[in-house]
Structure 1
Amino acid sequence: MNGAETLLSPGQCVMLFVDFQAGLAFGVESTARQTLLNNAVALARTSQVYDVPVIVSTSASRVYSGPLFPVLHAVLPGVEPIERRNMNAWEDETARSAVLATGRKRLLVAGLLTEACVSFPVLSALSEGFEVFVVGDACGGLTTVGHDLAMHRMEGAGAKLTSWIQVLLEFQRDWTRHETYAGARQIVEEHGGGYGIGLTYARDMIHPNTKQ
């Protein structure tokens, strides 16, 4: 596989967002919940800038978990969450069919909880020949140990581990790609921590063509 095929390209990918719901987020202890939500929103916004299809699945919305996080719903206004009964989204025919309908074989997965509703569809999709990338910093587990063990198991089964910022930068790859430059930069500035602060500083404070 050459470098162009190894690196992610937007036209090859589909994203699966699983159970980004408050009732499940209450149990997350593997990372700060606000950080997790920041990263999930950044990933969702990335999908919109690069026109990557997103499948959203929720579970037990009316009895325990609550609806999709409103901030994610706002970023993905045209995406209707697929409600399911089982833990494994890949065993839900509607969710699985939605992924298959995109015709794309590179699947990026993020969600809650890493130990179950993330790892189960990842393992299932791998068994069906998908190339699966787990966006680890947009996943949350009940404990750090549980999250890490689930990540190791998925990686051992063939999944690739990545982060939301790597996905964005891999999609962009060249800051002279003007059609996505503004959108990508805005996501980094608003969600990218110190890196985003640096981009904002460079834009507002550094004027190489201005005499001091």
Structure 2
Amino acid sequence: MSFERFTGENATLLLIDHQVGTMGWVKSIPFEEMKRNALMLAKTAKILNMPVVLTSSMEEYAQGPLMEELETILPNEFDSRIKRLGIVNAMDDENFAKATKAPGRKKIIIAGVTNDVCTVYPALSLVSEGYQVQVVADAGGSPSKMADDMALRRMEQAGVVLTSTNQLIAEVTGSWSTPEGMQIVQEVVMPALQGA
């Protein structure tokens, strides 16, 4: 399988259900680590002008609202987020599917909560439709390690490329010496490494 790098110019980022309630159900990765990684992706996408689609499910119930930090980082995307009414596979939501396909890019980066429900199905759907999909495994998680492992294995077997936050950020940045690369180092990478 040939590899063509995902970049800010050719990829779209989907952040699925990073809601305060849902994130609290995750036990496969520490909450703060998952949160930090998701926010690192959002900041990187903003710096690279990458299209981002945010979605949430049933915010007024136990799932809760999206992380407020996402509104600070991506105010327009937050305002236009797709609010699903309990639809498990976000790609089955007409508005989400339309927003995902609108930029016309065949490379899709997904991070979602939880990996075993909210990430796996859109990833499988997009692969089946001919998209190249990378799932950022550590910017999401599942209620158990077993559930997470099963979801990641299922996605990988279907042709999804699994990646980590740092790996994906390095890939889409390409060079730390560009103005965007230097901004990503200063505002995204270094604060995370320093535990900020």
| TM-score category, normalised to shorter length | over 0.9
Larger radius of gyration: 1
Q: Is 1:118 aligned to 2:109, yes or no?
A: no
Q: Which residue of 1 aligns with 2:88?
A: 87
Query: Over residues 44-96 of structure 1, what are the superposed CA-to-partner deviations in whole Å (9 max), with x where a residue is unaligned?
Result: 00101111110001001112211111012211111122101201100000000
Q: Is 1:57 aligned to 2:55, yes or no?
A: yes
Query: Compared with structure 1, are the counterparts of its residues 178 and 26 closer, same or farther at alpha carbon in structure 2 (3 Å cutoff)?
Result: closer
Query: Over residues 4-56 of structure 1, what are the superposed CA-to-partner deviations in whole Å (9 max), with x where a residue is unaligned?
Result: x5222211100111111111112110010011000000010010111111000
- Structure 2 gaps of 5+ residues are none
The CA distance in 2 between the partners of 1:185 and 1:171, in whole Å, is 16
Q: Which residue of 2 aligns with 1:206?
A: none
After TM superposition, give the deviation of residue 172 of structure 1 in Å. Answer: 2.2
Q: Is 1:131 aligned to 2:132, yes or no?
A: yes
Indicate the structure whose relative CO is greater, using CA pairs within 8 Å and at least 6 residues apart.
2
- Structure 1 gaps of 5+ residues are 197-212
Q: Which residue of 2 aligns with 1:164?
A: 165
Query: Over residues 177-211 of structure 1, what are the superposed CA-to-partner deviations in whole Å (9 max), with x where a residue is unaligned?
Result: 134412333210111358x9xxxxxxxxxxxxxxx
> Could you say which structure has the higher helix fraction?
1
TM-score (norm 1): 0.86
TM-score (norm 2): 0.93
For 1:1-212, what aligned pairs fall within 5 Å after superposition? 6-79=4-77, 80-85=80-85, 86-193=87-194
Q: Alignment RMSD, CA only?
A: 1.7
Q: Give percent identity, aligned residues only.
A: 33
Q: Is the 8 A contact 2:123 2:133 kept in 1?
A: yes
